[in-house]
Amino acid sequence: MKYALAGTPAKHWVKTKCLKPHDLHQEHKQVVCVAGKKKNEKIRIVKITDGTVIDHISAGHALEVLEILGITGKEGSVVTLAMNISSSKVGSKDIVKLEKRVLEQSELAKIALVAPDASINIIQDGEVVKKTRVELPDSITNVVACPNKRCVTNKEREPIHAKYQVVSKRPTVLKCHYCWTLIEADDIIAQFMEH
């Protein structure tokens, strides 16, 4: 079974077959759901007029990207989510389209932590005006907490933000600048999913 999003908050997303527009509640008619394709069936994803398309997300990680960006579905803007769709480059991938939202550099760094191969397309008036790839910087500050409870960054009286050196980009491994604790991709994702 594949995933589909029916415009509901993340906590209500379910495993299901592709939904048809008549299956959606009236207030979600704008959200298009795509959950893979059958043989010889074309995938249809509605174009957005203005906003951002996050493409080439590792299959099964689109929900984590939405969580990282703080998207719950209650914002009122259209979000299109496609999971586990065919890709000639990587076999299968996820795509997220955000209507009327352009991502900031700090958000792109967060996406790179869980989807290092993602590409970002900025759309204006229905056309791609800028295409980039997410890139994990050499160091990251104040994005994730150090898992070492004794680290100086976890002390309430110390005004120090967690700072990490990127030890490996694939798989993602970060090293705390202060206590040298290593944090891996699964731990990073778990922190984002907690909030």
The secondary structure of residue 102, as a DSSP letter, is: -
pLDDT exceeds 80 at position 104: yes
Q: Which ranges constitute the DSSP H helices of the chain?
A: 62-68, 105-114, 185-194
Q: Which of 132, 48, 133, 32 is nearest to 98 (CA)?
A: 48
**Residue 81 contacts by C-beta under 8 Å, 6 or more apart in sequence?**
3, 5, 33, 34, 62, 63, 66, 94, 95, 96, 97
Distance of alpha carbon 24 from alpha carbon 135, whole angstroms: 36
* 27-55 average pLDDT score: 62
Q: For 50-76, what is each residue's pLDDT tens digit?
A: 999 999 998 888 998 998 888 888 888
C-beta atoms surrounding 53 within 10 Å: 19
pLDDT digits (tens, 9 = 90+) for 109-161: 889 988 888 999 999 999 999 999 998 889 988 888 999 999 999 988 878 99
pLDDT of residue 142: 85
Ranges assigned E (strand) in the chain: 3-4, 14-15, 33-34, 51-58, 79-87, 91-99, 119-124, 127-133, 139-141, 163-169, 172-176, 182-184
The verdict on pTM exceeding 0.85 is no
